[in-house]
Every structure is written in structure tokens, then in C-alpha cells.
Amino acid sequence: MNAQTHSSKEIVRQARRRRTFAVISHPDAGKSTLTEALALHARVIGQAGAVHGKAGRRSTVSDWMKMEQDRGISISSAALQFEYRDCVINLIDTPGHADFSEDTYRVLSAVDCTVMLVDAAKGLEAQTMKLFEVCRHRNLPIITVINKWDRPGLDALALMDEIVDRTGMVPTPLTWPVGQSGDFRGVLDRASGAYTKFSRTDGGATIAGEEALDPASAAELEGEAWTTAQDESELLDMEGQNHDEARFLAGETTPVMFASAVLNFGVHKLLDTLVDIAPPAEARLDVAGQRRPVDSPFSGFVFKVQAGMDSHHRDRLAYVRVCSGVFERGMVVTHAQSGKPFATKYAQQVFGRDRESVDEAFPGDVVGLVNASALRVGDSLYLDEKVEYPPIPTFSPEHFMVIRAKDSSKYKQFRRGIDQLDHEGVVQVLRSDLRGDQAPVLGAVGPMQFEVAEDRMVNEFNAPCSLERLGFSLARRTVPDAVPTLARERSVEVLSRSDGELLALFSDRWRLAGVEREHPDLVLEPLVVS
């Protein structure tokens, strides 16, 4: 089963059908709502769920953790795959909260395009800009969606100016709103000049009605609102803000659409746009800087490891982005980091937390490998021709807590839980001989990661625990020779991370500056994300 059973021509054709993208934004901009609306318009779910976690509401497809449903936020990425027109859509929803930006960063290593969701009332917010910079660094094309146009918000032209000023990209709207924010009637299609009028459905739970009208009919129906939309579209024409595919793929421009995800307005157009202009799966760079053609033998890399998705599935799922060739269930591949064979007997396609066995997958697809205890985030897998993809860097933790088991009789469960959370990258686990295995230190980018860790220790591993905050706020990579000197410094502690790195923790940047001044030859390097 290790021979490639599809022709190169067929693999290339399948790769060109794939659209693999992530949705990024500031918290509460509507990412999970948009994810469900896209699935609704592709007719793979019958009704969109509410994401606010209120009593009596339906649960969402993508927000499946209890904490997500209780708080109305996304704290774990979710992979959804469905077909639309002649394409296969691989949509990877991402955590909205800034405390989980490391998980989002991992997801962005696995996609070919991003949808940047902007709240019409708030514009480009801090977390959006942080993730935009990651997209730019990775040369990912960006499609911008101005969401919540059904609510009062900023002026449409002012939002275009903000995109230019803050991102440097030229916005090239594909649609333009008819009706100001808070009075969303429909959109002007700037390419055809036609009008798409929207009509509401009950609670936005089903596909919104759309009526196509010619410009004359639109003018008669909407009057001044239509005239204003036409005038503003002509102004964009004069400024040269029209879509150019080459400039979009080069990251110079961003196509813009207006929508209301909660009402399902403008969502159908976004799906069509993804099919029409988003890049397909293409050759990806390996660690040597060489591009591996999509029709090469199978290869892929792990961008996420997740357990505890469902109490009925006590297993560990490794999300693998297929980069080249064909994945076939049951094939034996090589784990690049260890050189050992890895059997893929249990492979699944994931739709939120629902799963079904998958027999094959093509470049751009995401496959869930079950019970993949040997795999870690950033690992590569290949068939026949060796390849290793660039590792996914780890963020520098800024918050630290000691974790201890409350019940000594459940120490085995405690150890298993800590190892699992470390393996998944939920938190970074730091240890030292002084503290021992009974009191490891958890490092996190944001404090909410500790809440997730504690919740899973209690409910998934049956290991009640206590957490105690430590007075450190930054970490630097160091070397064994520096440990004796650092051990004598106040407000400094050296711990070992599971990947073998030694991290020196400092109470604040002034303490770090003092140590560097007194010991200029010590190795104290920032943990840089690249």
C-alpha cells in the first residue's frame, strides 16, 4: 500500500481543487459565526449554531470544548472540510483569544491563504494586527471581510483608509455595501455592477435570501442608498482600487467584502471568492529551502496535536497537513525526526469534533492521525523520498505557575496529564532537579492557558491540582555553562523544557538587564518566533 496509486496528473488536478485557509481576527469579531455560516452555505450543515454559550442555544460545530461554549470564545483550532462547487474547502478555524495566539500561529503554518475578519465598528484591532504580521511574514495572501455591517459602525471608505494606513496593503473591494453600517440592504458587485439584495431569516439560522437586480431596478428600489454605493465604487475606480490577481497573491493588495456572518449576508460571495481567487495547494519549502512538488511521493507535517475532544474517543489526534502526493490510510510512512516507520492504520477526516475514517487525501487536505503518541507539533512524515519541513517555533512564555497534584494517590494520572498537555503544546512544561517532577512549572503566553490546563487535568485526567503563580515575566534561552552563575542571582531561575532547551526565567526586564550588565559573557538569547 506504499506505492503511489494515482498519476502525477491526477494529484496535480486534485491539489488545484483544494482551498486551505484560516480565519483570523481579534476576539469577538465573529470567526466561529463565520465558520458556521460558510458550512451552512456549502450545505454541509442544516442550521448555523449560536456561539455565545447562552442557555438553550445550539452548540456550534467548531467550538466543541465546554469552556468554549460556556464563554462564547474559541480557544482551540478546529478543522472543517467540505466540498463547494468543484473545490474541496479546508477551513481551519483559529482561537480568537490572544492568550492562544501560539495555536493560531501553528495553524497559519498549514494554510495557503487567510481570511482577515474585521469588526465594522472597531476596525483593525490589536490581535488582528499581530496575526496580520504573521501572515505577512509567511507571505500568505489575505482576503478581508468587513463583518457585522448590520450593526452601527465606521464609514466604509474610512475603513479602507485604515487598511492602507495600518497594513500597507491596497484594499480592492469586490463588493460594496448598499446602506450604511446598521442598515445593511445588500451589496453592489463591483465587477458586474449588479445588486444583490439580502433578506433576513429567523435568527440567521438558515441561508439568507438573495435577489439579483440590475442597476436600474436597484436604483428604483433603494434610491439614495444605491446612488451612494455607486458613487463610492466609482471613487475606488479612480483610485485604482480594483482586484488584480497577481498583486493579491504577492501580498500587495487585499480583496475586501462586506458581510454579516450572524445573518448569513455576504457569506455566499465569500465562498465563491475563495474558489475563484484563493491559491490552491502548491509546492512547499522544506528545511533546505527547496520546494517539494505536489506530485512527489507523500509528505506532510504535524501542525497540531489534540486530545480530549470527546469523552467517547480517549485518544490523541495529530493534525497533518498533506503537502505532496497522496495520503492513503494504512500506508507506512517515515517519521523524519526519528527515522522510524509510522503506521497510519487509523486516519480520520475531521469536521469539528465529528470524525469519519478517511481512505485518501491530497495536497492541501488535513488528516487526523489517531493515537499518534510519537508525533509532536512540527514533525514531518514522508514516503520514499526523504523530506523535512521547517519546524514550528515555540513562543516565549510570559506567565509561569507551579502545578501540584492535590491528591497524592492520583499522582500517576497527574503525570500522564502533564505529559499530555506538554505534548499538545497547551502549555510549556519546565522542570528542574530542585523542584522535581512533583512540582513542574507551567509556562504560558497568556493566563487563560492555565485555566484550560487545570480544567483538562480535572475533567479529562481525573487529577485535581493546585496552581501557584511565580514572580517571573520573561524567559531567555541559555546554556549549561551559564547555570552555576545564574543560580546565584536573585529573582532568576533556570529550568529545562521538554525539547531540551534551558530557559532562564527573570522577574522583569530590569532584572535581566542587571544580570547582563554584571555578566556580559553569559548566553541569554531571546526565544524568537520566525
Contact 219, 190 (CB under 8 A): no
Contacts of 177 (CB under 8 A, 6+ apart): 146, 149, 156, 184, 186, 187, 188, 229, 258
Q: Which strands form 380-382's sheet, in the order they lie side by side?
A: 340-343, 332-335, 380-382, 299-307, 316-324, 366-370, 347-351, 354-357
Q: Is 94 annotated as a binding residue?
A: yes
Give the separation between CA 79 and CA 491, rounded to whole angstroms: 42
349: number of Cβ within 10 Å: 18
Q: Is 175 annotated as a binding residue?
A: no
Contact 447, 406 (CB under 8 A): no
Q: With CA atoms as reference, report the closest residue to 257 among 148, 139, 141, 182.
A: 148
Q: Is 97 annotated as a binding residue?
A: yes
Contact 505, 493 (CB under 8 A): yes
Q: Is 352 annotated as a binding residue?
A: no
Q: Is 179 annotated as a binding residue?
A: no
Give the separation between CA 248 and CA 135, rounded to whole angstroms: 13
501-522 burial: b if 16+ Cβ within 10 Å, else e: bbbbbbbeeebbebbeeeeeeb
Give the separation between CA 111 and CA 363, rounded to whole angstroms: 11
* Cell of residue 214, nine digits: 440590475
* Cell of residue 329, nine digits: 490510510
360: number of Cβ within 10 Å: 16
Binding residues: 93-97
Binding residues for GTP: 93-97
